[in-house]
Structure formats: C-alpha cells, structure tokens
Structure 1
C-alpha cells in the first residue's frame, strides 16, 4: 500500500471571480487549500483578512429556525445564488416581522402562566385559611405575614412572651406553613423574632382574592385560559413555519456555504489586482479539477509537482486496498506519515488480524464476532465494523486449529481424525511451552521485519544513521538477529555457534557501530570526519557517558520488546482457561440452566477478553513495532467543504 500522489495547484485570477472560484474549489470535493503566502516579501503581497459579512444574516436565519421549530438541514436550491448579505438580512426581517408579534405575545403569556403557577404553589399551602386575602391584608392596626419556617421551630414559639399569635395551616416533615398576626407598632420586633427562626415570607400577589379555595379556582382557570391562548399561538406559528420552512432552509444552506467559503479568503493571497490561491488535489483528480475552470477566461489554473514549493508540505492520504482500508483508523490514531513516506497500513492489517486470531482463537466466538462486525459496519461505523469482521475470520481460522468451538475443546477432534491430521488440533494446556516459545518467535520475526522496514525508509531518505548505524538499522539488525540465533542454537538446539569470530563480527562490531552511530553517519555522508554542531562542545568523556546510557537503553529495549510478545501466548492460555471455568460452571449447573450458563459465559468472555486482546495488540503495534520505523509527522488532507451546523462565531 502506498500514499496518494498529490499535485500542487496554483490559481490566479481577478478579484471579481474570487467567490465563484472558491465555490468551484469547494464543489470539487478534492481541493486542499493552503495559505497563499507564508513569508510576505513586501507590502504588495498580502493575505486577505476581511470581516465575513454573511455571519450576521446566518445567525438571524438560525434564530428564525429556532423560533419556528425548523430543524436546520441542507436543502437544495438555486434561487438565492448571487445574493448579497444585505438581501439575506432583508429577507430575514420580512419573515421575522410576521412571527415577531406572535412570539412576543407567546413569551408574555408564558411568563404570566409561570407567575400564576408559582402563586398556586404558594396558596396551596394555605388551604387552612378560610378568610378573604384582601380583607386580611387590608387591616390598618394589625400586621400579618404569610410564609413557612422549619417544622422544628414551631414548638419554640411558646417561649416568646410577645403580643403575636401564629396560625399554622400545613405541617410537613420539614416545614410548617402558616400566618402570624401582631400589632402594627410591634411588627418590626416580631419580624426579627421570626427571622431568627428562619421564617421565609411568602408574598401573595395582588390578583389573588377570596379565600384559598376560591383563589385556587380562579388561578387554575386563568392558567387554563392562558395555556389555551399559547396553544392557539403555537398553531399560528406552526402554520407560518410550514409557509416559510423551505425558504428558511434554502436561505440557510446558501448562507452557510457563502459564509464558509468567505472564511477561506483568509488563506487567499492578494497581489495588486489579482488573487492567488494555492493548494493540493490528488493527482488522479488534477485534470478533472482543472477542466472545471475552463469556462472562466480570466482564471488560470496551473498544475505542478507536489514538491514544487519547498515552503509547503503536501498533505497525506493513505491509499489502501479493500482488506487493509479499515485498519487505516489505527494508523491515523498514531499519526499520519509524511508525504512520500511509508504507509504501514498493510503491515498493521496483516499483523493485527493474525495476532488477534492467535490470542482469541475460537471458531464459534469468531463467527459471532464476524456477524457483529458486519452489523457495526452497516449501522454504526464502517471502518470499525470492517476491523471486527476481519478479526472474527482470523479467530475462526485459529479456533479451528485449536479445535475450540464456544469452549468445547474436543468438538473438532473427529474432523481432524477423518482427514488423517494427527498433529491438530493444538491442545493448549498440553502444549503451553510450545505456544509461549512460538509467541516469542513471532515477536522476534515482527521486530526483524520492523527493522528491515526502517532500513528501507532510511536509505530512501538518505539517512545513514537511521539505515545503517542506528539501533534499528543494519547494525541493530545484525546484532539482534545474531543474539537471537546464538541463544536459540546454544540453549535449545545445543549447537555451539558463539565462537570468537561470531562474537566479534556479529555482536561486538555492530555494538560499536551503534555506539558511534552519529560520527560514523556524518563521516559517511560528508566523506570525512567532522563533528555536528551539538558535538563540537562535547568532551570525549561526555560523549562516552551519554552514548553508554543510550546503549543500555537500546539493549534493554531489545529484551523488553521481545519478552513483551509473551503476552500473545499468555492470552492464548488465558482464553482457554476462562472457557474452562465456563465449562466447569456449566457442569455444576442443573440441566435446565446449562444452556443459559454456556451462553452467558461465552458472551462474558467475548466482551471482556475480546476488548482486552484488541487493546493489547494496539499496544504491541504502537510500542514494539511502530516505534522502530514510524514517524508520524504527516499532515492530514482536508478538502474544502461546507459544514451545515448552527455554530457560527461572528
């Protein structure tokens, strides 16, 4: 798999054609715009930085849609093509004028309903009072207060020898609602007493008259009447919405497109009376893109190689096949490679799929994963579903090799016997040592392949330190492979290969190359020995100490990265162990409950271990494999487009 080839596009034209040019770039769906100038040489060269005139009408139409309960979506139509911001504002004012009066009336009624409902809550607690509110509050020589206080404080009133009396109406666990009376001249003293007992005064509105029952009936009647008026206004506003909904949607669509395109002017350059646009298109779309401007005589489109401008880095588009395409999301999660770099998606797709099958091998569970991935790709997320389907197929393949079907380890034994295959299926617990050693062997193989990829990338970039002398270059490859061969031959095959020449040429010399990788690579590049700027001030002792600790880190990483692949074998054993627990629980369950135990156990293992295995393989990919060759310093390809949302910053 490779990276999509790009073409650099320069567009020059008159300012009268700027908006139409940007519109066509956006409609092409394949133009990635870049700032026209990064280093302005003189005052005649500048980037446009104008205030967007379409922001205000865009917000007005979004507000109109909210008032009329219209869901904003993209609507096709051309009747607003070429409209100015002033024309859109005028249209918005005309539509708003029809609903403004009704909206204000609705807001006024809603406020009154809220006040009336608040009054109902207050009066409802005073049901014990049968006198007319207006008569009580009209007393000249007596002051009265209505409210509530904590129920615990009700008993404390008997300790006050003052000229007041309290009438409770309703008492709950927490509060007591009531009214106290006192002489007009004593009200300040009595008010302070009740405030000390946390009395909260309730002010009865002036429009509440009669006793509590009469007041509640009047309030409820008024609430009902006003709600009916609100419903009538809603119907009228709804009719207006039906009348104007298509106009609002088409105007909003046209405005949003004009707004987003005008925002792109910030990347457009101005040179005297001409505009200058710079960007990238995929090379396969370059000719079609250029043809889209043939009818614009004053607009010139120039296609150049992607690396024609040293000040601009071409964006990266991963070019993947059917099988590898879903795994591009993992690569993008780590970071995109730079343009003309190495696309590792195919490597990730193959290794991830195989490792998942090894670690989660079960024919039945793999089939369920395959079905689940198919549903996810159709209903939720296509790349994620594609990954799950491929992992499910791999799980089915390795589950067949293990002879495991929903945890039944002997179910496929007769099948292999009929075919005369006596070394299959693999009995995991009987061959645990073989599985763990195989896992380490897989790790060694993947690390060596990663080093080979790094060497190829290094030579392509003419980076000799990376390709030859680095810990993941030729020196590191020879050292790591030699140590692995020496350990396997000596400890497992009982073959003595660690002779003195073997140690000197395949272990010691590669270590020296890694230790002196910087000066060696400089000498190879410039054909003579010279120090880099960072090393000119470094002493010999400092150089030795620094590289000694780096060498120690490299050697430690070789060991830790290799041993990290033991988790592959560990999860094979873990999966088999968890299914053994499920089978044991099923045997302990009554006959009627066996199917339920089997189903729940399999679903639990699939959910928990499947997720853990997926995460652990991502860790292996990112830390043990990617770290050896991958540089995620690429720039994403972002073609010009319009986002039809309501978030507008003016």
Structure 2
C-alpha cells in the first residue's frame, strides 16, 4: 500500500574479508547495489561519503581490475549438466555451506575430465553402430552380386562405389551413360530407390564423383570388417552390431554410476558458480584502496539492523553506516520497493507495465487494483463465467510459478465478476435463474450508462486528489497547485461538471455570471502556472523558455485540458456499454439455441456461446479496463519514472 522507506548503506572493510561480506549480501537478497562511479567525472554517493569522513581519501580509490574469468568453468558445467541430463535449482542452503568456489572449480574440472572422454566414447560407438545398421539395411540390395567384396577392394587400376539413386534420377543416369567412362550395374531395388554398382578407372575419380554428385548418388559404405560374398557377410555384421550394443550399454551404465556418485557435488558446484558470478558483478561496482574495499547500496529501512549484524559477523572490523533515502533525494534517485497486501499485490505487475513509481511518489497499486476489479466486474458481471475465470486463475497459479502473479489477477477479477453477477442476477448468461440483488442492466439501460459516467467522475476526482498529494510530497507547486491536474484544475473540472449538470437538470446551483468569472480566473491561473510557481518559490528567471513560446504552448494546453476533461469523463460510458453488450451477446446465442429446436443442439450452442464470451469478450473487457486505468486515470496522477528496487540475489544467469 506504500513505497517502502529506503536507506543508503555504506560498508568499508578490509580487502581480505570482502568475499565473506559479499557472500552474505548475495544470500540475504535485500541489498540494491549502487555503483561507486556512475559516469565519467561524476562522484557517486559512496565517494562523497568517504570524502566526507576523510578528506583526500577519494583520490586513492580505484575500481576493480582483477575480474575472474569464469567462462571456461561455466562452459564445462553446462556440458556436465547436459551429460547428466539435470537442471538443478537455485538453492541458498547449499551456497551457505562450507563449500568454496575454489573447491567447486577443481571438482568441475575433474568431473569434466572424466565424463567428456566417456561421452565421446559412447558417441563414437553410436556413430559406428548407426553406420552398421544403415549398411545392414542396404546390404540386402547387393546380396545378388556374384563377387567377393575383397575382390572389389583389391582392384589395382579401378575403383568402385555402391550406392542408391532415386527413381526419377535413374532417367538422368541413362541420359548420361555416354559421358560416363564407367561400368554401371543395376544390382537391386527398393520402393523409393534403385541400387547401383559403379566401376571406373581410378585416374578419373574426380570426374566420376562430380557426375554422381550431380545425380544425388547416395553411397552405401561397406565396412572394412566385411568380406566375402554379401549374403555371407550378414552373420558377421550381426555379431559386430551385438558387440557394439553391449559396449554402448556398459558405457552408459558407467555414466549412470558416475552421475549417481557425483550429482550432488555438481549441484553444489552449480550454486557456488552462481554465487561467485553475483559476487564478481558486485565487485565491478565497488571502490577499492590498497587495503580496503568500499561498497554502497540501498536497503529497506526495516531490514538495516539485520543486514548490519550479518556483515559484522563476517568481520567485526567492517564499518557499516546508513543514511535515510529522503535525505539523499536531491543527489540521487532511491530505488522503489512496493509493499502491498495480499489483495492488491498481484496488481503491482500492471503498475510496472506502465512504469515504476518514483521513491517520493504514492504507490498507485491499491487504487488500480480495487478500481480495476470494480471496472471489470461491472463490465463482465456473471456468476458462472466469473467462476470459470476464478478456476482458470487457480489452475495457472498451481501449474506455473512464472505466471503466478498474473494468475492472481485473474482470480481476483473472477471473484469481482461473480460479485457483480449476483448483483445483476446473471449466471452463464441466464438472467432469470438468480434474483438480481441490485439491478438487471438490460432492463435499466439509461441508469446503467449514467451510473457508469458518475462512477468515472468519482475516479477522476480521486485521481486529482492523488496528483495533488504526489505534488505535495515532491514540493511541486507548479503542477500540484496551478497545473491542470492540480488544485486549480480540480476546481475547474468541478465547475465544468456543475455547469453540465445545471444544463440537463434545469436547476441553477452556480450563477452563470459567477461561473464564467470563476472559470476565467482558473484558466488564467493555469496559463500562468510557471511564472506564479517560480515567483512563489523565488526562482529566477520566471520563464524556463521564451515568454511568447510559453504562452502559445499554454494556450493550446488549455484547449487540450478542456477536451481531455470532457473525453475522460465520457470515456467511462464504455463501462455501462460493455455491461449491456455482455447481456446482448448471450441473448444472440440464446436466440440461435432456440431456433435449433432440439435439446442437444441448443445445449451445444449455449456452451459454445459461453466459451466465446469468456474468451473473446473477457479479453476485450480486460483490455478496456486497463485502458481506462492507464489513459484516463494514470495520465492524471502517475508518472512512473522511478527505478525498481533490484536486490542482488542468487539466481540463474539471464
């Protein structure tokens, strides 16, 4: 429900205790590391604090220049994981153990040196086995050859090739007979190919190969171990295949045994590499002297005592200091960590799709979450269809951890849809099974459309209040007081609403003359917002740009303000329109079901209709609700220019 308070933590300690400190920081997962040198020529807060403690100290500071190259180890570990067919999980308990990175790197090298030759042996034998199996498949085509295989091999002035051609290529072969200085014998057939023996002079090897290649001639390799007549070679071929299968089986068993013995060591080494990788990344953002390291980072204020205790456990000589984020806002942007309750927390993802709130900005998550649920429920109110969305969200939440947050949104929208379904008396589109606890939209069209606009007005007024509160926090008089979404803009909007209501109701609340005068004054204040705010804040010059350019831009801005206020308000009529459309769409399917004339066909149409409504209209309502939040409401009060709190943690490389 708020942006969590942050403190800037600075740690100074002996270089020899650096790894111990960094290990605790990574495993704690509560420190957002800040670079000691953000850009060339710019001193970071780390150096400013150090300089404040001891003048001239910053001149002795250098960056990390001894980065550990872990690429070779990571490649070897990837090979090991692939050979073992495992995908280990990130495990902080493993990384907290006494295992060291040095020990893990030695173990990775040793395991790799054992399993890679073993894998290569398996692969080499599998390739030989595949070659023999292919030959066995093809040898049946040459069993009719009345010749010893070794006689072909021992020809002195001639070479030979046995292979296959597709049936369409044999025609081209016949056409090429005159240009081929070779004897070509057709020795077998299959369903798709013809088998040939080609005998040619050894001195025209290249020319013959080019011709056969152009015909897509596929060679049948004759293993060197095969001799005698082809039909007699089958028995020796089967023996060779059996021996290779046994060798491959034994090698695979050896690999399985090796895996069972060392898989836990591999998992530990995997986590140690992840830990070391994160530590190396932190080191690149740290400052160093000959004997000391300096680290700065943002931490949640409520966690700083725990963090300080763990760092001092690594080395009592470490000095840990904190400064409140609000004291440093003028020099830097503290990261933003949102803190919301269980109901609205999933909606943080929708807020972040638009932008991250600034540290000094109100968290809009609760407002968005509650209003989005109400908007969706109002547009898609149905007990049965909402229940389907609820069950779908629960199923996704159970099956996918990556989509858990979005599944949480879906469950909440499903519940909202069910609540409005009871208010509308609608279940799977049927309007007369349940009693309407509030209203039936299709029977009260004018009321539904009008109430949706009134609801939109309420949300817009709250948005003005949000913007004013944000401006007060940020000490922004220009936008908070005189801006079109500030106090002056709010009064102008209220005056505009009163004028419109007076016109339709016919009852005068504000005298027309007074109303015009007040509107003119408010418009002038909005036009003069920059010079007035600079005058109050005693800033000079009064205009950031040229005077004429400023007033031309302000004039157009007033026109845009008037149009946006009207369009933003009218835009909420879509809430009522979709509520009516939801009923109307089902009525169309219900009419089709009645026209079919039989129970089974009618039931099928109703089921298909509900599926289409849930999938298609549900998606449209999701988008329309999000559009109202982003374009009609967020544009009033939310900038989203913050930096998300991203604590360093033990995680898989991205």
Q: What TM-score range do you get, normalising by the shorter chain? A: 0.7 to 0.9
Asked if 1:52 corresponds to 2:68, the answer is yes
Where does residue 444 of structure 1 map in the other structure? 457
Contact 2:334–2:643 (8 Å) recurs in 1: yes
Matches within 5 A, 1:456-471: 456-471=469-484
State the 1:330 CA deviation. 1.2
The range that moved more, 338-347 or 279-288, is: 279-288
Where does residue 454 of structure 1 map in the other structure? 467
Contact 1:324–1:349 (8 Å) recurs in 2: yes
- Measure, in 2, the Cα distance between the counterparts of 1:22 and 1:448: 48
Where does residue 420 of structure 1 map in the other structure? none
Where does residue 128 of structure 2 map in the other structure? 112
Where does residue 482 of structure 1 map in the other structure? 495
Q: 1:350 aligns with which of 350, 358, 370?
A: 370
Q: 1:394 aligns with which of 384, 395, 416?
A: 416
SS class of match (1:563) = helix
Asked if 1:202 corresponds to 2:219, the answer is yes
Contact 2:186–2:195 (8 Å) recurs in 1: yes
**1:244-301 residue CA offsets vs partner (Å, 9 max, x unmatched):** 2223322333343233223311122113422111112211112222222444321122
Asked if 1:290 corresponds to 2:308, the answer is yes
Where does residue 494 of structure 1 map in the other structure? 506
State the 1:12 CA deviation. 1.3
Contact 1:356–1:395 (8 Å) recurs in 2: yes
Flag the 1:570–1:100 CA change in 2: closer, same or farther, 3 A.
Answer: closer
- Measure, in 2, the Cα distance between the counterparts of 1:155 and 1:298: 88
The range that moved more, 31-40 or 19-28, is: 31-40
Asked if 1:330 corresponds to 2:350, the answer is yes
Which consecutive unaligned segments of at least 5 residues does structure 1 have?
A: 417-423
Asked if 1:373 corresponds to 2:393, the answer is yes
Where does residue 504 of structure 1 map in the other structure? 516
Where does residue 434 of structure 2 map in the other structure? 412
- Measure, in 2, the Cα distance between the counterparts of 1:186 and 1:61: 50
Contact 2:90–2:650 (8 Å) recurs in 1: no
Where does residue 524 of structure 1 map in the other structure? 536
Where does residue 633 of structure 1 map in the other structure? 641
- Measure, in 2, the Cα distance between the counterparts of 1:12 and 1:83: 23
State the 1:462 CA deviation. 2.1
State the 1:551 CA deviation. 3.2
State the 1:312 CA deviation. 3.6
Where does residue 565 of structure 1 map in the other structure? 572
State the 1:14 CA deviation. 0.9
- Measure, in 2, the Cα distance between the counterparts of 1:626 and 1:125: 76
Where does residue 5 of structure 1 map in the other structure? 5
Where does residue 421 of structure 1 map in the other structure? none
Contact 1:57–1:92 (8 Å) recurs in 2: yes
Where does residue 28 of structure 1 map in the other structure? 28
The range that moved more, 585-594 or 52-61, is: 52-61
**1:432-476 residue CA offsets vs partner (Å, 9 max, x unmatched):** 232222222222222222122112222332212211222212232
Q: 2:620 aligns with which of 604, 608, 612?
A: 612
Q: 2:606 aligns with which of 587, 598, 604?
A: 598
Matches within 5 A, 1:313-328: 313-328=333-348
Equivalent pairs, count:
629
Contact 1:164–1:183 (8 Å) recurs in 2: yes
Contact 2:483–2:526 (8 Å) recurs in 1: yes
Which consecutive unaligned segments of at least 5 residues does structure 2 have?
A: 48-57
Flag the 1:63–1:376 CA change in 2: closer, same or farther, 3 A.
Answer: closer
Matches within 5 A, 1:76-91: 76=93, 81=98, 83=100, 85=102, 87-91=103-107
The range that moved more, 232-241 or 398-407, is: 398-407
- Measure, in 2, the Cα distance between the counterparts of 1:547 and 1:505: 19
Matches within 5 A, 1:216-235: 218-235=236-253
Contact 1:515–1:551 (8 Å) recurs in 2: yes
Per the normalisation by structure 1, the TM-score is 0.86
State the 1:337 CA deviation. 0.7
State the 1:385 CA deviation. 3.3
Where does residue 259 of structure 1 map in the other structure? 277
Per the normalisation by structure 2, the TM-score is 0.86
Flag the 1:287–1:189 CA change in 2: closer, same or farther, 3 A.
Answer: closer
Root-mean-square deviation (CA), in Å?
3.3
